[in-house]
Amino acid sequence: MGRLFGTDGVRGVANADLTAEMALGLSVAAAHVLAEAGTFEGHRPTAVVGRDPRASGEFLEAAVVAGLASAGVDVLRVGVLPTPAVAHLTGALGADLGVMLSASHNAMPDNGIKFFARGGHKLADELEDRIESVYEEHRTGAPWDRPTGAGVGRVRDYEEGLEKYVAHLVGVLPNRLDGLRIVLDEAHGAAAAVSPEAFTRAGAQVVTIGAEPDGLNINDGCGSTHLDKLKAAVVEHGAALGIAHDGDADRCLAVDHTGEEVDGDQILAVLALAMRERSALRSDTVVATVMSNLGFKLAMEREGIRLVQTAVGDRYVLEEMKSQGYALGGEQSGHVIILDHATTGDGTLTGLLLAARVAESGRPLRELASVMERLPQVLVNVPDVDKSRVKTSAELAAAVGEAERELGETGRVLLRPSGTEPLVRVMVEAADIDQARSVAGRLADVVKSALG
């Protein structure tokens, strides 16, 4: 079978791919692997378990809690909270393990399990691999070594989790949001209670949409993947800005007062300048992926901020930040990591800091975001090709070289083999959308003929 763990935990259709038995088995395996690794040495282990509001999260949470307790781990059940809240509480409460049940921006039938190590950091790949192999070994028959009597884990609801997390968010803001009217689209997701409370406590006048989760409506026509309702609401209410989260609130996109989208690159640009002003942008460096808009790179160069680029995926951004001690990084999709205050992307924190910059500067978000000009970006997927030959095809290299000469300093070409499908993604940026389309179409034809 293929690897269970993807870049963001284990994910699939709940009760089909991701069953109660699998959730229970993976939780027991995680407890055993962490015990082997010495994480629990000398004390009784504790885990923090949270979920988003999906209906399937109810039975999957029960399975995870049962698995952990049966392996001798005490469980603090925090209920419906964002992924970054579970990561934060894992660190703040000194827990040995955090578990979040969510499929983020995916549709309601999906769900997922994500494990956090002590401190609230993502588990190392080798630990995930070990959990998977131990799970497989026991799924096929080897019995678990189980504690009995007082050795079994105890379970309690940790109702203070929301308050502790909100206090943390508001406590790290450099200034208040008084006088700002803000529309929040909660995607009927995990931040439906947390985010309005945090923004209100920080002084904003809050209007909410998508804040009535019923277990079935998460991400349904709302949130960061569907911005139309937020755009309309911002204009209708005369708000200064709008903030949209996804289902587990680890990402944030914004809308300015005219109803125009402000994407992750623009948010990063605004926050980078704000943090540098406060001497909080270590090494005057921001980390982003190779998919960031060229306009972002040009803006950072112009402002004297160094840009470090990584492979696509917030995990690679986070690895680079941690290894070099950088303070800010993120992706165009709205995953923004502020490492001084969070161990993972935190959509509520990002939105709060963006609003704080608007409040403190007295300038509208539209003006702040104009520090970068988003260059037109065209993405073409070319299916059914031999993606392994992208780097070795002389014909393709010649075509890319010609395209780069044509685009000059104001354009860019990126060919990227898909990680999961037999296709190559052709991305072209140019100052002019017609030129971008023309160059992307030409390159897609060469990919087809050279690699088909």
Q: What is the CATH number of the domain that holds 97?
A: 3.40.120.10
* Residue 145 sits in the same domain as residue 169: no
Q: 429: alpha, beta or left, given left = phi > 0 and alpha = psi -120 to 50?
A: beta
The confidence score (pLDDT) of residue 2 equals 54
Contact (CB, 8 A) for 99 and 180: no
The answer to whether residue 1 sits within a structural domain is: no
- Please indicate, yes or no, whether residues 221 and 155 belong to a single structural domain of this protein: no
Amino acid at 451: L
Contact 286, 331 (CB under 8 A): no
One domain for residues 64 and 16 = yes
Q: Are residues 81 and 147 in the same domain?
A: yes
Judgement on whether residues 205 and 334 belong to the same structural domain of the protein: yes
| pLDDT score of 1 | 43
Check residue 397 and report its DSSP letter.
H
User: For residue 367, how many other CB atoms are within 10 A of its CB?
Assistant: 11
171 part of a folded domain: yes
Which single residue is written with the structure tokens 């549709």?
107
> Could you tell me the CA-to-CA distances from 14 to 78, 102, 219, 246, 451 in Å, in that order?
21, 10, 16, 18, 37
**What is the predicted pLDDT for the residue at 124?**
87
The amino acid at 176? R
Task: Note whether 66 and 30 are same-domain residues.
Answer: yes
Beta strand 205-209 pairing with 306-310: unpaired
Q: Does residue 185 form part of some domain?
A: yes
Walk along the chain (452 residues) and give the pLDDT tens digit of each residue: 457 887 778 999 999 999 999 999 999 999 999 999 999 988 999 999 999 999 999 999 999 999 999 999 999 999 999 999 999 999 999 999 999 999 999 999 999 999 999 999 989 889 999 999 999 999 887 889 999 999 999 999 999 999 999 999 999 999 999 999 999 999 999 999 999 999 999 999 999 999 999 999 999 999 999 999 999 999 999 999 999 999 999 999 999 999 999 999 999 999 999 999 999 999 999 999 988 999 999 999 999 999 999 988 888 999 999 999 999 999 999 999 999 999 999 999 999 999 999 999 999 999 999 999 999 989 999 998 888 888 888 899 999 999 999 998 889 999 888 766 778 999 999 988 999 999 999 999 999 888 87
386 assigned to a ligand binding site: no
Q: How far apart are CA 83 and CA 190, in angstroms?
A: 8
Q: Is 125 annotated as a binding residue?
A: no
- Classify residue 3: in a domain, yes or no: no
Task: With respect to residue 2, please indicate whether it lies within any of the assigned structural domains.
Answer: no
Tell me: do 167 and 307 sit in the same domain: yes
Domain that holds residue 402: 377-451
* Residues 397, 446 contacting (CB under 8 angstroms): no
CB-based contacts of 187, cutoff 8 Å, min separation 6: 105, 210, 218, 219, 222, 223, 224, 225, 244, 245, 246, 247, 249
User: Rounded to whole angstroms, how far apart are CA atoms 272 and 280?
Assistant: 9
State whether 230 and 257 are in the same domain: yes
Distance, CA of 217 to CA of 308 (rounded, Å): 38
- Taking a C-beta distance cutoff of 8 angstroms, is the pair 202, 176 a contact? yes
pLDDT score recorded for residue 416: 85
Q: Which of 342, 369, 396 is the last residue of a domain?
A: 369
- Show the tokens assigned to 314: 């917030």
Kindly state whether residues 300 and 172 are assigned to the same domain: yes
CA distances (Å), origin 89, targets 18, 50, 359, 365, 412: 25, 10, 28, 31, 41
* 226 plus 349 within the same structural domain: yes
Q: Which residues pair with 116 in a beta bridge?
A: 98, 122
Q: Give yes or no: residues 422 and 363 share one domain.
A: no
Please tell me whether residues 20 and 150 are part of one structural domain: yes
> Is 195 marked active-site?
no
Contacts of 75 (CB under 8 A, 6+ apart): 46, 47, 48, 49, 65, 68, 69, 153, 154, 155, 156
Q: What is the DSSP letter of 154?
A: P
Pull the structure tokens for residue 178. Answer: 């008084």
User: Which DSSP state fits 410?
Assistant: G
Count of structural domains, the chain = 3
Domain boundary among 159, 180, 215: 159
Closest Cα to residue 60, out of 20, 87, 94?
A: 20
Is 104 assigned a ligand-binding role in the annotation? yes
Question: Is residue 5 situated within a structural domain?
Answer: no
Active-site position among 104, 195, 292, 333: 104
Q: What is the CATH number of the domain that holds 425?
A: 3.30.310.50
Distance from the first to the final alpha carbon of the chain: 28
Annotated binding-site residue? 388 = no
Tell me the C-alpha distance between 242 and 257, whole Å: 8
* Element at 244 (helix H, strand E): strand 241-245
Among 369, 393, 425, the domain boundary falls at: 369
Does residue 186 belong to any structural domain of this protein?
yes
In a domain, 4, yes or no: no
Q: Tell me the C-alpha distance between 248 and 83, whole Å.
A: 6
Structure tokens that stand for 137 in this block: 């070994």
